[in-house]
Structures are given as structure tokens and as C-alpha cells.
Structure 1
Amino acid sequence: MNLLTSIIEEGYGTILLLFPFLLALITAFLAFPTIIFIAHAKQLVDVPDKRSVHSKTVPTLGGIGIFFAVAIVLTLSGAFLDAKLLMPVVGALIILFFLGVKDDILILSPKKKMLGQIIAALMVILITDIRILTFSGILGIGELPYFVSIGFTLFVFILIINAYNLIDGLDGLAGSVGLLVSLFYGFLFFKMQEMSLTVVSLALVGALIPFLYFNFSKVRKIFMGDTGSMVVGFLLAFQSIAFIHLNQSNPISQFHSNAPLLVLAILFFPLLDTLRIFYVRVVIYKKHPFSPDKNHIHHQMLQIGLKHWQVTIVIAIASTSVLISSLMFQDLSVNLLLLVIILSGIIMFSLPFFINYSVFNKRFKMNKLLRKLHVISYSKAK
């Protein structure tokens, strides 16, 4: 039993967990102004193009501040918590950090980024042995053989990292999703008394709050960049897989049989957007799946007239609704619960477009009626 666990069992855990959160928060708040200043001085900024939703040059090195805040917290926590769990995560983040910085400054090929993600994910999977053990009967699939388990866990890591990267196209969207997901995982890990994982969640929450402050700023704006999307995406994937692993390893845990489905509900938006964008690009437009465009769900919401902050709020509400649906119906069989999550997710994320279509139709009919009344009144006047 380590020192921190002993202190937590004495009843001081909640107060003590404020320290990693506050350390990440303060570190990030102090780091971002310096990063923004250097980025402008060295012209390390994003220049707007036809795909951009901003009109001014903006630094893209926000991931540096997020990385340093999280890395400092995890490194210091490793002395008191589970170093075997936290140190491989820090090592993986260092790999992704250097890949991301190079991509933000010089552009890195997708193959090299993918290779780096695979190495980082495999390092954590093999050292910590945190992996998806079973499909829990989803689609009739049960326990996975060891190497299949490693391969599938690696696939989930890469999927979540790149799904998160794809939603980073709007002020506050990626940061808000990362914040909400980490808050929820932090709550669950704390309830499960997994303090090392709770610290991972709180460190990311503490780093993302200052990022969102500057990301929404009109004067000192900064973007997450590929560094940030890979670092945050990796941490979200790690938390997701750790949550699944812990519940599948414990037969009496609350989410033993449906942990993968709860993760699906938590990450429904980035996964839905990834599936949709790949379909649009590959099947409809016959393009490369990673070719940039403005066909993301958040871009479509902007086109129907919503503002940046409104899109973020709509997506947050829809995501929360999907999660609540999964919790309400968690006693269903896994395949029925899977169906509930998919249907509720599609309905919630389609709702803004149906509402907009309905409003548009009413306006069109009203304008048509007013034109008729105008013609009638004009002819009577003559």
C-alpha cells in the first residue's frame, strides 16, 4: 500500500486530489501566454484558408501547454501512486508530443504519425497489460485470445486518437469534449478507488480549462494543434480502455458486462463523426478518408446558422443525452443496449437539422402566404 492510498483511506482523498488538478491548472495558465507570444514572434501560426472558420492568424501550439501540465502532474504523482501505470503513459505522451510539434511546425506524413501512435499505444498496452479482455457478448462475441485482445485494443487506441483529432475544427469543441469525458471518467475512477487513474483524469481536466479560456479568447487565441489532439486523444483512449479493463476484470463491478457500451456512449460524437466523414469521403466523393473538407457534423451545424458556442452546447447536450440513455437502460441485454445507444445517438445528433428544416419550411410557407396576401391586396387596391 502506497502513502497516497493510506491517506485516502483515512478520508482525506477528496481534498488531496485537488492538488494534481490545481497543479495542472496553474501550470497551463502560466504556460499558454508564453507559448502564444513565442508562436506569434516566430510566425508559428495557422493562416486562414477556404476551410478555416477563423479569419486571423492563430498559434497552433496549444498542445504544448496541455502536454507540460499533464506530464508534470503524472511525473510527480508517480512517486506516490502506481509508477508502473503512470510512467508508461508519460513515455507515450513524450513520443506523441514530439510527433505533434513537428507536424504543427513542419508537417508530418500521416504514415509517420500513425507509426508513432502505434508505438505509443503498444508501449502502454504491453507494459501495463491494460487491454480489452472480452466483447461481453456483443454480437455474440465473448472472451478474446491474448494476441487478438492486444490487436483489438491497439485498434481502439488508434481509432479514438484519430476520431478526436477529426473533431478539432471549431473553437471550444475538442477541448469541451475532452473536458466532459475526463470529468466523467474521473468521477467513475474515484468511485472505483482507482486513484492513479483519477489523477490522470484530473490532470487533463486541469490542463483543458485554461486551454478553453485562451481558445475562446478574441485577443490571445490559441488552437490545440496536432500536438494537443494527439495528446488529449491518447489520454481519452487510455482512460476508456482502462475503464473497460477494470470492469471486465472484476465480476462484481457495476459495469462488468456493459463497460464497452458505456464507453461507446461517452465517445459517441467523435466516433459517429468519424464514421460519417469516412463514408462521405470514400463512398460519396471517392476521396482519401483523411483528405480535409467541411463535411463534419460541426461544420454542417454552422451552415444551418448556429454560432461556434451554440454548436458546442448542442453537441454537449446531445452527448450527455446519449450517456444518460445508456445509464437508464443498462439493465437491458448488451445487444439491445447497443441498439438503444445507436438509435438515441443518431436521433439526438440529427435533431438540430430536423428542427432547422421544420423552421425553414414554416418560414417558407409564411413568406409564400404573405406574398399571396400582398398580391390580393394590391389587385383590390387597383
Structure 2
Amino acid sequence: MIQDLLEYFNPLDYLALWLFSAFAIALFVSFNTFPAIFMISVKKQLMDVPGLRSAHSKRTPTLGGIAIFMSLVVVTTTLGGLLDTKVLLLLLGGMTILFFLGLKDDLLVLSPRKKFLGQLLAALILIIFTDTRIIGFSGILGVTTLPYWISVIFTLFVYVLIINAYNLIDGIDGLAGGLALFACGAFAYVFLTMEDVTLATIAVAAIGSLIPFLRLNFAKKRKIFMGDTGSMIIGFLISFFVVRFIGEAQMYKASSFYNSAPVLALSIVFFPLLDTLRIFFIRAAIHKKSPFSADQNHLHHNLLKLGYSHKQITACVVIINAVLFVFTLLFKDFEIHLQFVILLCLGTLLYSAVFIYHWLMDQKSKRKTAEHPS
């Protein structure tokens, strides 16, 4: 009898209950995994030791990514049997590769070359066996369809770029987790609009796994970091959402996002990519250093120097990215090049607003000093 029910069960018929179940399972597993992580981290001294570039002054556990990974594994293996099993199995395989690479990097040290090769392998598994790739640019620069191998190479580039972007912005409390929470919420919305229940379920599960982490990441006493384990898994998951969303939208002309998928996907991951490309340019072009060398030139470091707290910076960045996403949705029916230009201009302006404001206040203060010298 149970087998008959499962055979004819369609999650779309019970969508709200189905998504709530995925969220609740991930939330429960994540919340109940952290006590064990804390106990092991303290007992075995698996802590991040503050350095010159650190925004923290206390030794802190860095294994928060374990709870995020376990939550996604449980949801995938329990609810995945009624979804697109092949895609979920390969997605889980890719996440598992990055989980062990990230865990080794958090506990010991892993060379950038090995991490890079692991990211390529995880991405290739999905690209080759599910044929999930970016097939074109929806007419941006006149490119509608890419040749197969160029499509594969470009998709690999997107994976590596986004994975490392989320890894690089994980420099203050809540920023990587908060932006990942927003991105998963945005992708849950677009996948539900496209009736892709499989990816919507995983996106909602990721939200459930991140909420307990963010609660502890912002805590003063029992604080925890997601570490490379968490940032690589989250970056990989979001990069898969980006590729799947663009690929699916471009395959069907009747799709609501057929003419806007690349721009809409870019709006969701705009801040991580903006900060990564900006920091690479500063390091390579201005300081003549390796783009992977460490420094304090990230946007969040500059906001810290202006006196903003970790919570204020995270809230500001996440809200701006959400506003940018909503605006992009509003003009998704515009001509694709106009969408792209509006996104770049509006996004750059919004993320520069705080610095422009402080510069104007500084100029005002200097004029007052010049007019009324002491």
C-alpha cells in the first residue's frame, strides 16, 4: 500500500507541506549537530587562531560546514527518492568531494592547486553526467548558443568563480552565510516559478541548514565559523543553482525567464562576484601581486574601517543584494543588453553608496574646517 502511494505521489500536489518538511528536516539536523561539533572542536583544539588579518580576537571553531553538509545529505537521501534522483545523487557526489577537501583544509592545510582540481572535478561530474551547463548568453553580445566545448569550459569557469567568491567573502560574521541564505531564497522562488521541485527543495533545505549556523556565527560566546568546508559547499551549491537556472530557462522559450536568466542569475550573486573581481584587479593591476594573495582590501574590510559592526555590514549587503534582485525582476522583460547595463550601473551604485556618503561627509567636514579654522 505504501509503495502504491509513493508511486503516484507528486510533491506539486502538496507543495507547501513538502517544502516545509525539507526545511524542518534540515533545520532539525543542523541545530542538533552543532553541540557535537563544539564538543569535538574544544576537546581536540580544532580552532581558528586569530592572526593579523583576522576580524576576531578569540579562538573559534571552524567546522560549521559539517552541520550544513549533514543537513543537506539527510534531506537529499530522505526526500530525494521522490525527486530527480540522478541529479541529486550527482549533486551529493560533488558536495562530498568538496566536503572532504574543505575539511582537510580546515584541519590541516590544503594547497590551492588541490582545491582547484577538486572544484573542477566536482563541477565536471555534474556537467558531463547531467548535461547541466550554460548553453548561451540569451543574446548578450550577440551570443545565443555556445559550441559544446566552449559551453563546458565557460560553465567550469562559472563554478570555480562562484565557489571561490563565496570563500573569499567569508571574512566577517554572517556575510557569507547571510548572502547564501538570500541566494537560496531567491533561487527557491525562481525554481518554484519554473516548477522545478527538485532544486526548490534543495534550496529550501539549504535555508534550513543555514539558520542555526547564522545564529551561532553571530553569537558572542559559542561562536562558530563555516570554514572552507562550509564556504566551498555553499559556493558549489549556489553555482549549480546558477547553471541549472540559466540552462533550464534557455531551453524553453515559454519560460518566464527565457530572455533574462543570465542577468537575473548575476543579480543574485552580484556582491560576491563584484567583490572578487574588484579584489583581483586591485591585487594584480595596482599592487602587482598574485590575485590569490591575502590582504584587507575587501569591501567588508573597508566598511569595518569606517566603524560599522559585523551585523550592520551583513544586513546592509544582504538588503542591497535583495533590492537589486527585486529590481532585476521588475525589468526582466526589457531588452537583454538594457537589463545588463541597468544591473551593472545600479549594482555598482548601490554598493558604492556607503562610501560615497562617507566621502561627501568628509568633504563637508573639511569645508567647515576651512571656513572656521580654530
Structure 2 length normalisation: TM-score? Answer: 0.96
Whether 1:224 and 2:226 are equivalent positions in the alignment is yes
Q: Which moved more, 1:96-105 or 1:189-198?
A: 189-198
Residue by residue, what CA displacement relative to the aligned partner does 1:225-257 show, whole Å, maximum 9, x if unpaired?
Answer: 000010000000011111111111111111102
- Whole-angstrom distance in 2 between the partners of 1:4 and 1:265: 39
* One-letter identity of the residue aligned with 1:353: F
Tell me which residue corresponds to 1:8: 11
- Whole-angstrom distance in 1 between the partners of 2:221 and 2:316: 25
Tell me which residue corresponds to 1:38: 40
Residue by residue, what CA displacement relative to the aligned partner does 1:128-159 show, whole Å, maximum 9, x if unpaired?
Answer: 11111111111111201112211111111111
Whether 1:180 and 2:182 are equivalent positions in the alignment is yes
Q: How does 1:84-99 map onto structure 2 within 5 Å? A: 84-99=86-101
Q: How does 1:149-228 map onto structure 2 within 5 Å? A: 149-228=151-230
User: 1:134 aligns to what SS in structure 2?
Assistant: coil
Bigger Cα Rg: 1
User: 2:82 aligns to what SS in structure 1?
Assistant: coil
Taking only the aligned residue pairs, the percentage that are identical comes to: 46
Residue by residue, what CA displacement relative to the aligned partner does 1:287-320 show, whole Å, maximum 9, x if unpaired?
Answer: 1111111100111111111111111111112212
Q: Which blocks of at least 5 consecutive residues in structure 1 are unaligned?
A: 373-382
- Whole-angstrom distance in 1 between the partners of 2:126 and 2:282: 33
* One-letter identity of the residue aligned with 2:272: P
- Whole-angstrom distance in 1 between the partners of 2:335 and 2:173: 38
Could you tell me whether the CA contact under 8 Å between 1:172 and 1:212 is conserved in 2?
Answer: yes
Could you tell me whether the CA contact under 8 Å between 2:259 and 2:333 is conserved in 1?
Answer: no
- Whole-angstrom distance in 2 between the partners of 1:364 and 1:310: 27
How far 1:8 sits from its partner (Å)?
3.3
Could you tell me whether the CA contact under 8 Å between 1:325 and 1:340 is conserved in 2?
Answer: no
Q: Which moved more, 1:302-311 or 1:174-183?
A: 302-311
Tell me which residue corresponds to 1:263: 265
Tell me which residue corresponds to 2:118: 116
Tell me which residue corresponds to 2:292: 290
- Whole-angstrom distance in 2 between the partners of 1:73 and 1:270: 27
- Whole-angstrom distance in 2 between the partners of 1:349 and 1:92: 32
- Whole-angstrom distance in 2 between the partners of 1:105 and 1:79: 33
Q: 1:311 aligns with which of 305, 310, 313?
A: 313
Across the two proteins, how many residue pairs are aligned to each other?
A: 371
Could you tell me whether the CA contact under 8 Å between 1:244 and 1:259 is conserved in 2?
Answer: yes
Are the structure 2 counterparts of residues 66 and 5 from structure 1 closer, same or farther at C-alpha, using a change threshold of 3 Å? farther
Tell me which residue corresponds to 2:77: 75
Could you tell me whether the CA contact under 8 Å between 2:194 and 2:256 is conserved in 1?
Answer: no
Tell me which residue corresponds to 1:280: 282
Could you tell me whether the CA contact under 8 Å between 1:2 and 1:81 is conserved in 2?
Answer: no
Whether 1:354 and 2:343 are equivalent positions in the alignment is no
How far 1:328 sits from its partner (Å)?
2.4
How far 1:61 sits from its partner (Å)?
0.7
Q: How does 1:320-359 map onto structure 2 within 5 Å? A: 320-359=322-361
User: 1:79 aligns to what SS in structure 2?
Assistant: helix
Residue by residue, what CA displacement relative to the aligned partner does 1:312-344 show, whole Å, maximum 9, x if unpaired?
Answer: 111112212322232222222111211111100
Could you tell me whether the CA contact under 8 Å between 1:60 and 1:225 is conserved in 2?
Answer: yes
How far 1:365 sits from its partner (Å)?
3.8
- Whole-angstrom distance in 2 between the partners of 1:16 and 1:135: 33
* One-letter identity of the residue aligned with 1:165: N
User: 1:277 aligns to what SS in structure 2?
Assistant: helix
* One-letter identity of the residue aligned with 1:289: P
User: 1:142 aligns to what SS in structure 2?
Assistant: coil
- Let me know the Cα RMSD of the aligned residues: 1.6
User: 1:169 aligns to what SS in structure 2?
Assistant: coil
* One-letter identity of the residue aligned with 1:8: P
Are the structure 2 counterparts of residues 340 and 5 from structure 1 closer, same or farther at C-alpha, using a change threshold of 3 Å? farther
Tell me which residue corresponds to 1:21: 23
Q: Which moved more, 1:31-40 or 1:170-179?
A: 31-40
* One-letter identity of the residue aligned with 2:282: V
Could you tell me whether the CA contact under 8 Å between 2:134 and 2:154 is conserved in 1?
Answer: yes
How far 1:370 sits from its partner (Å)?
5.6
Residue by residue, what CA displacement relative to the aligned partner does 1:43-62 show, whole Å, maximum 9, x if unpaired?
Answer: 11111111011000001111
How far 1:37 sits from its partner (Å)?
1.8
- Whole-angstrom distance in 1 between the partners of 2:148 and 2:213: 39
Q: Which blocks of at least 5 consecutive residues in structure 2 are unaligned?
A: none
- Whole-angstrom distance in 2 between the partners of 1:368 and 1:216: 42
Could you tell me whether the CA contact under 8 Å between 1:59 and 1:223 is conserved in 2?
Answer: yes
Residue by residue, what CA displacement relative to the aligned partner does 1:156-187 show, whole Å, maximum 9, x if unpaired?
Answer: 11111011111100100000000000011112
* One-letter identity of the residue aligned with 1:335: H
* One-letter identity of the residue aligned with 1:174: A
Q: 2:128 aligns with which of 126, 129, 142?
A: 126
Tell me which residue corresponds to 1:59: 61
